[in-house]
Chain A
Amino acid sequence: MSQHDRTHHAKIATGKGDPQCFKGTAGPPKFKVGERVRIRNLPDIFYTRCQVYTRGAIGEVAVVTHESPAPEDEAWGHVDKSEWFYIVRFRQKDLWPEYPDAFAKDTLQTEFSERWLEKV
């Protein structure tokens, strides 16, 4: 345990910030703005930032945000592999079946790393 370099983050992010320090490390993004995507229901071990309420839902890429290691890896100190992140927009009706029809225009946005998305 004591072998882990706890100053690693300070070294790579100083003067740039995080996620800026991971810029250019993920290759080309797989999805573009406007594309329809489904949230995959991947297994997660102990840590994830992909909310259960979004899994299996279909939405549309609203913003391609930045590159960064996925939190599921970063939580374990694995920062050598980056992914693109995406803000995805859902219709509330697609997330919550009981959402009132009167407010059918309402939406929700949240962010995912690329591994959680698949083409529809």
Chain B
Amino acid sequence: MPHDDHGHGHGHNPPAPMVDEISDFEALEIAVRELAIAKGLFTAEDHRKFTEFAEHIGPTPAARMVAKAWLDPEYKKLCLTDAIKASLAVGVNWLNPTGFGTPSDYTDLRVLEDTPTLHHVVVCTLCSCYPRPILGFQPEWYRTPNYRRRLVRWPRQVIAEFGLVLPPEVEIRVEDSNQKCRFIVMPMRPKGTEGWTEDQLTEIVTRDCLIGVALPRPGVTTNLKMPVHRAAKPAHH
């Protein structure tokens, strides 16, 4: 990739921060993609289109799904029994853009419903499986070996790092998303939102809430910025 602005001194547009940990899977993805393009399985143009398709999504459709479910018990039932069908109501057809789904996501979405005594949190220990068609791209921390290795074993400590501390009476259920099912968490509707519209409710169901590392709160509409620490024992390839 040529750097068009190289040496032009655009100080207001700093380069993206360096990522300390590149997993073997990420290196593998680049290698396979380049091979696939070289072999003519798809073109670089196709790849750009797929990437743009995925990048423009963002977590809003999933947030709206939860907000709608809070307001409409019938819709909530549909979310819990056939989330792929329920996705249509928030503008997401899981078969797009190819006719059989995105190039690397499967089409079996499950909605995990929180209760006063049960809280879900999602991880993929094998790579970074994530319901991208309805939630957009993963945050960087979700892909790190740090999150993936530790969440299954020390979930309470890890979610506490996101500011979420739950009492022992609440069962924490980790969902390790390691096959074709994809998951979002449906948190409970928080107090202080009585009489709110669907749009207002959608705003507080952040991406972090849908992964399960945060709970929705009135007034909170952004995700926690997790600092990227240098790896203590970086891998040298």
Contacts and interface: CB of A to CB of B under 8 A. Distances in A.
A6 B155 CA distance: 40
Interface of B: 41, 84, 94-95, 98-101, 106-108, 110, 125-126, 152-153, 155-156, 168-169, 171-181
B168 A68 contact: no
Given A14-B100, A49-B179, A113-B179, 9 more contacts: A17-B107, A19-B108, A51-B178, A53-B152, A65-B179, A95-B152, A106-B172, A109-B175, A111-B178
If over half of A's interface residues share one DSSP class (helix, strand or loop), that class is named, otherwise mixed; here it is mixed
B63 to A, nearest CB: 23
Contact of B155 (A53, A106, A112): A106
A17 to B, nearest CB: 3
A19 B107 contact: yes
Interface in A69-120: 71, 85, 87, 89, 92, 95-96, 99, 102-103, 105-113
A46 to B, nearest CB: 13
**Most chain B Cβ neighbours within 10 Å, of A18, A68, A99:** A18
Interface residues of A, number: 38
A81 to B, nearest CB: 16
A15 B176 contact: no
Interface of A: 6, 9-10, 13-21, 49, 51, 53, 63, 65-66, 68, 71, 85, 87, 89, 92, 95-96, 99, 102-103, 105-113
Contacts of B126: 49, 51
Contacts of B179: 49, 65, 68, 71, 85, 111-113
Contacts of B107: 17-20
